Amino acid sequence: MRPWEQDPILAVDRLSMRFGGLVAVSDVSFRVGRGQVTAVIGPNGAGKTTVFNCITGFYKPSAGRLALSHGAAPSPSELDALTRTGRAAARTRKGGVFLLERLPDHKVASAARVGRTFQNIRLFSGMTVLENLLVAQHMGLTETGLLSPAALLNLPSWRRREAAAVERAKTWLERIHLIHRADDPAGDLPYGDQRRLEIARAMCAQPVLLCLDEPAAGLNPRESAALNELLLSIRDADATSVLLIEHDMSVVMGISDHVVVLEYGRKIADGTPEEVRTDPRVIAAYLGVEEDAVEAIEAEVGV
Ligand SMILES: Nc1ncnc2c1ncn2[C@@H]1O[C@H](COP(=O)(O)OP(=O)(O)OP(=O)(O)O)[C@@H](O)[C@H]1O
């Protein structure tokens, strides 16, 4: 059994997504290993973002199951039993399991604890760096999204939670080496720092699975190296598994434990970076696209 199959945090089974007549994702299955970095790669239009949008609850899949587990993964029979009940989540002996395709997107974030970042930066550029990390935790500090009575009355329980949120934000600013910029507007940061701040913001919600959509896009080599370091530290020091879409092969090959390759909405390969980069189907898929992608693959394979 492959390492990512032993205790998957997420089991994607027979996922399909149609937009009218267009099949964007077709019958895709893969596992995301707990405590691993998993990359989804593929040429433009392969269906990567669509898979992400299904996992994070932005799209309701046309078919398929997306089972996320807290604690050890349930057995296939336990998972099938939950699926038959029609419920979206269940407690198991080992923790809990969530069928993401049945949850509204806010529950994917708040109950299943799946975090994400987007291709385009979505920080509040006029707010300070620290405030951006506090806003991220705001929903966690309130109940039902409205201010709780504890908050309105400034009760000790509320003040404790607020203090913990500030503490967590500062810890993350230390980790991404931006504590000295805490009071500066986020929009004043260099691009690479804004990218890492977005990741820190997502981490403040303490996700069990962090989904990153092209985190290295637009980064220079130095910024890209800092990103790699951050993602590896999250994998190793936090109880968070990482799933990313990425075009930058140096990031994919440098930090992934497991790579899933899509082409025309189908999975064409699934393995370690070494297995995938020498897979003739993967090379052929990339040879059909832009020159820089071909060069990156050829450089990796040593052609
Ligand atoms: N909301 C939508 N409505 C209609 N078609 C869509 C929608 N989202 C994606 N598609 C189509 O689905 C296919 C897969 O797109 P997707 O964005 O998932 O690919 P991708 O691998 O992420 O590509 P890229 O690397 O360019 O971001 C494409 O043909 C795209 O045009």
DSSP string, 129-178: HHHHHHHHHHHHHSBTTBPPHHHHTT-HHHHHHHHHHHHHHHHHHHHTT-
**pLDDT tens readout for residues 111-151:** 999 999 988 878 898 999 999 999 877 655 554 445 666 66
Judgement on whether residues 146 and 106 belong to the same structural domain of the protein: no
DSSP 188: G
Residue type, 31: R
E strand or H helix at 25, and its extent? Answer: strand 22-33
Expressed in angstroms and rounded, the spacing between residue 16 Cα and the centre of ligand 1 is 13
Judgement on whether residues 70 and 193 belong to the same structural domain of the protein: no
Q: Are 57 and 108 in contact (CB under 8 A)?
A: yes
Nearest CA to ligand 1 atom 30: 45
3-class DSSP state for residue 211? strand
Say what the ipTM of the complex is.
Answer: 0.96
Question: Of 18, 25, 16, nearest to 245 (Cα)?
Answer: 25
Can you give the pLDDT of all 303 residues of the chain as single tens digits? 899 999 999 999 999 999 999 999 999 999 999 999 999 999 999 999 999 999 999 999 999 999 999 998 888 888 898 899 999 998 877 789 999 999 998 999 999 999 999 888 788 989 999 999 998 776 555 544 456 666 666 766 767 888 889 999 999 999 999 999 999 999 999 999 999 999 999 999 999 999 999 999 999 999 999 999 999 999 999 989 999 999 888 889 999 999 999 999 999 999 999 999 889 889 888 766 555 666 666 676 665
Expressed in angstroms and rounded, the spacing between residue 159 Cα and the centre of ligand 1 is 44
Cα end-to-end span (Å), the chain: 31
Q: Say whether pTM exceeds 0.95.
A: no
Among 149, 183, 205, the domain-final residue is 205
Q: Which residues have CB under 6 Å of ligand 1?
A: 19, 22, 24, 42, 44-50
Q: Which two tokens stand for residue 105?
A: 């997107």
Give the residue numbers spanning the domain of 177: 122-205
Judgement on whether residues 47 and 180 belong to the same structural domain of the protein: no
Judgement on whether residues 191 and 238 belong to the same structural domain of the protein: no
For residues 277 and 258, what is the distance between their CA atoms, to the nearest angstrom?
11
Among 148, 183, 205, the domain-final residue is 205
Judgement on whether residues 200 and 188 belong to the same structural domain of the protein: yes
Nearest CA to ligand 1 atom 31: 45
**Domain holding 86: CATH number?**
3.40.50.300
What percent of the chain has pLDDT above 90? 67
218: left (phi over 0), alpha (psi -120 to 50) or beta: left
Q: Which two tokens stand for residue 287?
A: 């040879």
